[in-house]
Copies of this chain bind each other. A is one copy, B any other.
Amino acid sequence: MNKKRIAVDMDEVIADVMPKFVELYEKEFGKRLEREDYWGKKIYQLEGARKIREYLFDKGFFRDLPVIKDSQEVLKELQEHYDIYITTAAMEFRTSFEDKYDWLAEHFPFIHWKNIVFCGDKSIFNTDYMIDDHVFNLKTFAGKGLLFTATHNIHEQGFTRVNNWQEIKAFFEQEREKEKAA
Contact = CB atoms under 8 A, between A and B. Distances in A.
B118 A97 contact: yes
Contacts of A127: 124
A116 B101 CA distance: 17
Interface string A83-103: 001000011101001100110
Interface residues of A, number: 26
A127 B124 CA distance: 6
Contacts of A125: 124-126
Given A97-B101, A101-B97, A126-B126, A92 B121 contact: no
A115 B126 contact: no
A175 to B, nearest CB: 19
A91 to B, nearest CB: 4
A12 B90 CA distance: 24
List the 7 closest pairs (A to B, CB-CB), nearest first.
A114-B120, A126-B126, A97-B97, A118-B118, A114-B121, A91-B113, A117-B119
9 contacts: A91-B118, A113-B120, A116-B120, A117-B117, A117-B118, A117-B119, A118-B119, A119-B119, A125-B125
